[in-house]
Amino acid sequence: MKTQIKLPEQAVPEAYFDVRYEILRKPLGSPKGSERLGGDDEAIHCWVEDEGKVVAVGRAHLIPENADGSAFDQKAKSACPPFEPLCAGYKPMQDDSGLEIPSVGLRPAVQVRAMGTLDEYQGQGIASKVLDALEKESVTVWSAKTGWLQARVEAIPFYEANAWCCFGSEYEVPNVGPHVSMWKKF
């Protein structure tokens, strides 16, 4: 198994996007092309290959200083809500571990998106390698202090096992399903 990283502005192989489509978009009935996300060219991408075959993927992007992480995905016809702690006027709240998420010191912040592993490779720690690499590269490239993501409910145990914590209420991402926001201090 080989872990690969591509930094912003570096080319990502088509096989990476093919796996992203197969895992994350095709099961939802989304069209080919919907696996391409806005800002992909400005993101850090990581994937794991098994004998040259891409088996797990993920990406992280810097959340601009004036942004709250909310997004509308035109191709998938879905929207994700903002991360409340990154919003103006945020009043500190506790995450599910009881830790208070402060109102300062959260930026630079990154958002992890498009994580997925082929079924036959799940449960082998491969996705954890992708996530760990994204976190480390985000700190190196952008001096990231925190990470944020919107986790599909079934993926929450994976993220919790990697020291991410839920906060806020569950919500529905249109055309995708139930999600919970999560964060991690790097």
Q: What's the pTM?
A: 0.94
Which residue type does 121 have? Answer: Y
Domains and their CATH numbers in the chain: 2-185 (3.40.630.30)
Q: Quick one: average pLDDT of 178-183?
A: 96
Query: What's the pLDDT band for 75 if we cut at 50, 70, 90?
Result: low
Query: For position 40, what pLDDT does the model report?
Result: 96
pLDDT at residue 55 greater than cutoff 80:
yes
Angle at 109 between CA 166 and CA 93, to 5 degrees: 40
Backbone angles phi, psi at 121, to 5 degrees: -110, 0
Give the number of residues written for the chain: 186
For 5-17, write each residue's pLDDT tens digit.
999 999 999 999 9
Choose among 32, 115, 35, 109: nearest CA to 65. 109
pLDDT at residue 168 greater than cutoff 90:
yes
Backbone angles phi, psi at 155, to 5 degrees: -95, -5
Q: Quick one: average pLDDT of 39-50?
A: 97
Query: For position 176, what pLDDT does the model report?
Result: 82
Strand (E) or helix (H) holding 159:
helix 156-161
Query: For position 174, what pLDDT does the model report?
Result: 80
